[in-house]
Amino acid sequence: MSRMAWPKSDKSRTSAAGEFDGLMREHVPALYRSAFRWTGAVDRAEDLVQDLLVRLYPMHDELQRLDKVRPWAMRVMYRIFVDQLRRERSSPLQFGIDPADADAAGEEDHGFADPAAGPPELAEQQITRQRIAAAWTLLAEEHRVVLSMHDIEGYSLVELAAIMEIPLGTLKSRLHRARAKLRELLATERFE
């Protein structure tokens, strides 16, 4: 029987940690932005990215062999996110079934800009941005994910289908429903 040596110092771990840091550091801000758009909260986004990095570190050898780290990291983060949603909801996640709408009529004003504060065009842009941001918080997480990754971050449908591990047709339907839902939320707010 061979007796294996136990490392007396953490130098080997430090070099692995350094390699992982060099590999992932540039991607963390983008991963965080995606995580924020999915979760809608800074602390939840930070937790999601933290969970992702803890999960990826043991696999840093495999990460170094990848051509593109970020799409792979996004896929893992998406899986973590879905698992978290399932646990939080304590029921199987039913993608494709739109959750009940929030009661838009009962919402507080989401801080419409004072048009007198600046040029009319700039104020209109701020209003639109704020309205979209407000409507975004009312979207289901499933819709936020597809809108964020396709319409904002620019992943193609093929790339996104691979990340989310769903058929292309299903993804297209989900994207269509997400946009329709967002428009519906914006239209409801406009007529208050």
Phi, psi of 91 (to 5 degrees): -160, 155
3 Cβ neighbours under 8 A, 6+ residues apart: none
Decide if residue 42 touches another protein (CB under 8 A).
yes
Q: Quote the distance between the C-alpha of residue 94 and its chain's center.
A: 18
Decide if residue 184 touches another protein (CB under 8 A).
no
Do the beta carbons of residue 37 and residue 148 sit within 8 Å? Answer: yes
Phi, psi of 38 (to 5 degrees): -75, -45
- Choose the binding region for another protein from 23-31, 102-110, 111-119, 169-177 (rule: CB under 8 A): 23-31
Decide if residue 159 touches another protein (CB under 8 A).
no
Decide if residue 165 touches another protein (CB under 8 A).
no
Please state at what angle helix 42-56 crosses helix 69-89, rounded to 10 degrees. Answer: 120
Decide if residue 21 touches another protein (CB under 8 A).
yes
- CB-nearer residue toward another protein: 3 or 106: 3
Among 122, 133, 158, 168, interactor with another protein by CB under 8 A: 133
- CB-nearer residue toward another protein: 3 or 103: 3
Residue type at 68? K
- CB-nearer residue toward another protein: 106 or 178: 178
Rounded Cα–Cα distance for residues 45 and 4 (Å):
41
Do the beta carbons of residue 180 and residue 143 sit within 8 Å? Answer: no
What six digits make up the tokens of 33?
């932005």
Among 69, 85, 104, 136, interactor with another protein by CB under 8 A: 136
What six digits make up the tokens of 105?
């009529």
User: What's the residue count for the chain?
Assistant: 192
Among 13, 86, 89, 176, interactor with another protein by CB under 8 A: 13
Q: Residues in the site for another protein, rule: CB under 8 A? A: 1-10, 12-14, 16-18, 20-21, 24-25, 28-30, 32-33, 36-37, 41-47, 49-51, 53-58, 61-62, 80, 83-84, 88, 125, 128-129, 132-133, 136, 147, 151-154, 179, 182-183, 186
